Amino acid sequence: MSEICKCAEAESDVLKKAGIDTALLEPTLKEYADVKGSLITILQHAQDLYGYLPVELLNYIALRTGIKASKILGVATFYAQFRLEPIGKYLIMICQGTACHVNGSEAVQAAIEDELGIKDGQTTSDGLFSIKSVACLGCCSLSPVMMINGEAYGTLTPDKARAIINDIKAKEADGK
């Protein structure tokens, strides 16, 4: 048996133990594995499928594409769009752009962090919420603004932000 096959088998065992089904990524790898300059596309598809980029999956992508694992990790850590850790069911992105900043985004973020008991980049212990501070959401006319799972909430105050979070918590408690 060749060394590549042994590596592939060992990597497959690691992925299975981590609960990662690589069959989901196979169509993307078949389409892009040999296409130069397609690493970001592969990583985007992988993150869409798995919610984040576990290190085990990055090693598998390296094996399948022939790109060094260190280069893949470098790309995944360089771009803010990629996550190496799972996120909560609700990803709260808080804009810290100029318009939001001058209109109170720091106070809004502090209120959300206080309400959830977590800081920027963290996820609540129940896995419901993650907070991510971002440079700009492109909604300057709504400043200060946050986005939760793609839905923008604007003209925020700390109290309004807390109310939005508590509304989501209540809906989750009701099973909606």
- 18 touches 52 (CB < 8 A): no
Three-class secondary structure of residue 148 per DSSP: strand
Could you report the per-residue pLDDT of 97-125, keeping only the tens digit for each? Answer: 999 999 999 999 999 999 999 999 999 99
Predicted structure pTM score: 0.72
Phi-psi region of 116 (alpha: psi -120 to 50; beta: other; left: phi over 0): alpha
Sign of the Cα pseudo-torsion (29, 15, 60, 54, in order): positive
Mean pLDDT by 10 residues, the chain (176 residues): 54 72 93 92 95 94 95 92 91 95 97 97 94 92 95 97 97 87
My answer on whether omega of the bond before 144 falls inside 30° of 0, hence cis, is: yes
Cα–Cα distance for residue pair 51/149, rounded to 1 Å = 12
The alpha-helical segments, DSSP class H, found in the chain are 3-17, 26-32, 39-50, 55-65, 69-78, 98-102, 105-116, 158-173
Q: How high is the pLDDT of residue 1?
A: 47
Q: What is d(CA 176, CA 172) in angstroms, rounded to the nearest whole number? A: 6
